[in-house]
Amino acid sequence: MTTLPGSAPSVRDGGGSAPILAVEDLFVEFRTRENVVNAVNGISYTVSSGETLAILGESGSGKSVSAQAIMGILDTPPAQVPNGEIWFEGRNLLTLPAEEQRKVRGPGISMIFQDALSSLNPVYSVGFQIGEMFRAHRGLSRKEAKKHAVELMDRVRIPAAAQRVNDYPHQFSGGMRQRVMIAMAIALDPKILIADEPTTALDVTVQAQVMDLLKDLQRETGMGLVLITHDLGVVNEVADNVAVMYAGRIVERGTVDDVFTRPAHPYTEGLMNSVPNVEVKGGRLQPITGQPPNLSKIPSGCPFHPRCARRRLGAEAAPGRDCAGDRPPLRLVVPGREAACHYSEEVLGV
């Protein structure tokens, strides 16, 4: 077994609500002929059992790529993981041979995707596809696997599961297909479920049903849930903790209550101000200026500085804290809150 480094003391102690998944300083890059796309640039986080960690970010923030790295489903090449550790059940997945990785991940970590239709094979019945999990990993017979599939479809609240088990993916609505995906994902009682924009393609009423289902399943099984989304509302309603990503880095981390009430990073603050609320009409929106950065040309210093209203450059900046020159590390700003901004105290107003 791999020895554990001192820097990641939390994961392998076991027991209690200790983290069951820990990502340490993970990097992912895509090498193409013309350039290198730095999709993930040194992110670290932990997930405990029963915890819901939301990873919030816009397209190109690296939130999905980091999840794919954990699942080992990146296409390599062009993707590469030049650095990083992924600790699960006391082992660093990235140092294990591929076959071992598969054995650990298979039952332990599962993932659901935004597009349920393209994640399901159109030529097999959904019952067969759910049952395959049991046949492949538990060696069950076809008949037993089908019985389990019906049970699982019941558990994810697909009406008339026994009748619909032989239906094909196209015969289900979008929300029901996402339930089929969830059934497959929880079939082997995973300890971690990664949900990559699970409700983005769904209507708001269906989204509410699916999020409810995920929360209920989590309560029943105690699994850790990693929720990847760009939707501030979803994060607020279902997550305990949130990590905000920008340009492949975590720029702020804390409990949802703290981060949403008083953001410590200008990007988080900007996001909060730029979305309208359903509760009030509100005045003019305050957009973040500019566009998300090109990941093959991430700005120097703080990657957010070209769009930041609070940036301080040159003479305005404190020594060693020039937003265009010095990259701010993710640091503890106030107890329980980390942010990667030189001037987080100002953002918080402390």
Partner 1 sequence: MTDSQQQQDLLHDEVQAGTTTGLASPSVDVTNDRQNSLWSDAWKALKRNPLFWIGAVLGLVFLVMAIVPQVFARGADPRDCDLANSRQTPSSAHWFGYDQQGCDYLANVVYGARSSLIIGVVAVLVVLLLGIVVGAIAGYFGGFTDGLLSRVADIFYGLPLILGALVLLRVGPSTDLPIISSRGPGAVAIALALFGWMTAMRLVRSQVIAVKSSDYVAAARAMGASSPRILVRHILPNAVAPVLVYATITIGVLIAAEATLSYLGVGLQRPAISWGLQIDAGQDLLRTAPHLVLFPSLILTLTVMAFIMMGDALRDALDPRQRA
Partner 2 sequence: MSEAAGATAASVPSDSESALPPAPPPGAPLLEIKGLKKHFPLTQGVVFKRTVGHVRAVDGVDLTLRRGETLGLVGESGCGKSTVSKLLVALEKPTAGEILYKGRDVAKMGGRALKQYRREVQIIFQDPYASLNPRMTVGDIVAEGWSVHADIAPRKGRLQRTQELMDRVGLNPDFVNRYPHQFSGGQRQRIGIARALALQPEIIVCDEPVSALDVSVQAQVVNLLEDLQDDFGLSYLFIAHDLSVVRHISDRVAVMYLGSVVEEGTDAQVYGSPSHPYTQALLSSVPLHEPALRGQKDRILLQGDVPSPANPPSGCRFRTRCWKAQDICAVEPPALVDRGQGHPSACHFAEARTVVPVDVD
DSSP assignment of 99-145, as one string?
Answer: HHHHHHHHHHEEEE-S-HHHHS-TTS-HHHHHHHHHHHHH---HHHH
Q: Does 289 bind partner 1 (CB under 8 A)?
A: yes
Q: Does 306 bind partner 1 (CB under 8 A)?
A: yes
Per the DSSP assignment, residues forming a β-bridge with 54 are 227, 242
Cβ proximity to partner 1, 137 vs 297, nearer residue:
297
Closest alpha carbon to 90 in 195, 25, 15, 188:
15
Task: Classify the C-alpha dihedral 195-200-201-205 as positive or negative.
Answer: positive
- Residue 206: phi and psi, rounded to 5, are -70, -40
Closest alpha carbon to 259 in 249, 271, 247, 248:
271
134: which 2 tokens? 């049991």
Q: Does 222 bind partner 1 (CB under 8 A)?
A: no
Rounded least distance, CB 299 to partner 1, Å: 9
Binding site for partner 2 (CB under 8 A): 58-59, 159, 173-176, 203-209, 211-212, 230-234, 236-237, 256-257, 260-261, 270-272, 274-282, 284-289, 291-292
Rounded least distance, CB 284 to partner 1, Å: 7
Q: Cα angle at 291 between 290 and 296, to 5 degrees?
A: 130
Which amino acid, one-letter code, is at 185? A
Q: Which stretch binds partner 1 (CB under 8 A): 22-30, 62-70, 268-276, 287-295?
A: 287-295
Q: Does 297 bind partner 1 (CB under 8 A)?
A: yes
Size of the site for partner 1 (CB under 8 A): 12
Q: Which stretch binds partner 1 (CB under 8 A): 107-115, 158-166, 228-236, 292-300?
A: 292-300
293 binds, among partner 1, partner 2, none (CB under 5 to 8 A by kind): partner 1
Q: Does 274 bind partner 1 (CB under 8 A)?
A: no
Rounded least distance, CB 344 to partner 2, Å: 19
Using CB under 8 A, pick the residue from 33, 143, 281, 284 that binds partner 1: 284
**Cα(189)–Cα(122) distance, integer angstroms:** 25
Where along the sequence are the contacts to partner 1 (CB under 8 A)? 284, 286-287, 289-291, 293-294, 296-297, 306-307
